[in-house]
Amino acid sequence: MEKLAIVVPCYNEEEVLKIASEALRGVLDDLIRKGKIAEDSFILFVNDGSKDRTWELIEEEHQAHPVQVCGVKLAGNVGHQFALTAGLITAMDLSDVTVSIDADLQDDVAVIEEMIDKFHNGCDIVYGVRKERKTDTFFKRTTAQGFYKVMEMMGVKTVYNHADFRLMSKRAVEQFSKYQETNLFLRGMMPLIGYQTDCVYYDRKERVAGESKYPLKKMLALAFNGISSFSVKPISMILGSGVIIVLLSILAAIYALISYCTGHVVPGWTSLILSIWFLGGIQLMAVGLVGQYIGKIYIEVKHRPRYNIEKVLK
């Protein structure tokens, strides 16, 4: 019987941690009772440098349930994607299959059983996909859907309406561990692994307690990181824009020359100033975009550790 590890990245989740622990322990008990997972399956909470009592609560849960609840304490706040990676890599040597889920319980824990069933049928990766986004605000729903469409246009493979709620077999996690880049975007990396995949669908719920740890700023940063980490099309688009602007400039020069020769010159500087501003803006945008790519190369070539583990509760 396979040993399951449920990996839960946590950042300032003291309001919801005990609720999440109880719900996930209930899932483990149910799956063990049905004979679908091993009796020593466990939950692995990853504390991502929380500033509240999250780690203290993880320790309390571990003391109360030493077999079912384990913990990893990172030395500092490294971000959701790195914390999730730390949990997956740690769980890789301790389990046969992992399920990653956020602590806010907006993802439906009831479909974990369906994920396990698909795993037993030969799937190495099972994606949790939202049926719809009724619980999201209009702005978040619109921007999220736009993000997936932009990613598709850029040639990045992602699963539509999938976040980081997924099942991975041991060999899938082992393959993922070979991807050593620092600019992580797990939703785009998982399809690169290959192997047999499938999806389960669920209705996303309201957050049980606390506040979202992904405000607009972080959402935009994640979106840009996903695009720039997997596609060079933005640079190609800027090159194409530059070619178009050059052609338009040649046409404008021909028009100006004809106007000068025919004596139909209209005095004024507005068009000139607007042209300078427009071209200057395009140039600054192009330089900034190329600079972002160079910055990512700079970060990658340092090969610094992506996270430091301070303590592990097994």
What per-residue confidence (pLDDT) applies to 220? 64
Kindly state the average pLDDT of the residues 282-286.
72
Element (H, E) at 82: helix 80-92
**211 exposed, middle or buried (CB, 10 Å; 0-12, 13-18, 19+)?**
exposed
What per-residue confidence (pLDDT) applies to 58? 93
What per-residue confidence (pLDDT) applies to 71? 92
Instruction: State whether 181 and 286 are in the same domain.
Output: no
CATH number at residue 114: 3.90.550.10
Instruction: State whether 251 and 216 are in the same domain.
Output: no
Within 10 A of 203 (CB to CB), how many other CB atoms are there?
13
What per-residue confidence (pLDDT) applies to 232? 58
Name the range with the highest mean pLDDT among 8-12, 184-188, 194-198: 8-12
Instruction: State whether 166 and 252 are in the same domain.
Output: no
Instruction: State whether 226 and 238 are in the same domain.
Output: no
Strand order in the sheet with 42-47: 197-202, 125-130, 162-169, 97-100, 4-10, 42-47, 69-74, 309-313
Instruction: State whether 75 and 164 are in the same domain.
Output: yes
Instruction: State whether 144 and 33 are in the same domain.
Output: yes
Range of the domain at 133: 4-231+306-313
- CA 130 to CA 125: how far, in whole Å? 16
Is pLDDT above 50 for 176? yes
The residue whose two tokens read 């500033």 is 51
Instruction: State whether 53 and 181 are in the same domain.
Output: yes
Instruction: State whether 253 and 174 are in the same domain.
Output: no
Kindly state the average pLDDT of the residues 255-274.
61
Residue, of 60 and 214, whose pLDDT is higher: 60
What per-residue confidence (pLDDT) applies to 181? 79
Is pLDDT above 60 for 268? no
Instruction: State whether 210 and 123 are in the same domain.
Output: yes
What per-residue confidence (pLDDT) applies to 33? 92
Instruction: State whether 244 and 211 are in the same domain.
Output: no
Instruction: State whether 238 and 226 are in the same domain.
Output: no
54 close to 47: Cβ distance less than 8 angstroms: yes
Residue, of 148 and 124, whose pLDDT is higher: 124
Is pLDDT above 50 for 206? yes
Could you tell me how many residues make up the chain?
Answer: 314
Name the range with the highest mean pLDDT among 159-163, 183-187, 188-192: 188-192
Instruction: State whether 204 and 274 are in the same domain.
Output: no
Domain count, the chain: 2
Q: What is the pTM of this model?
A: 0.71
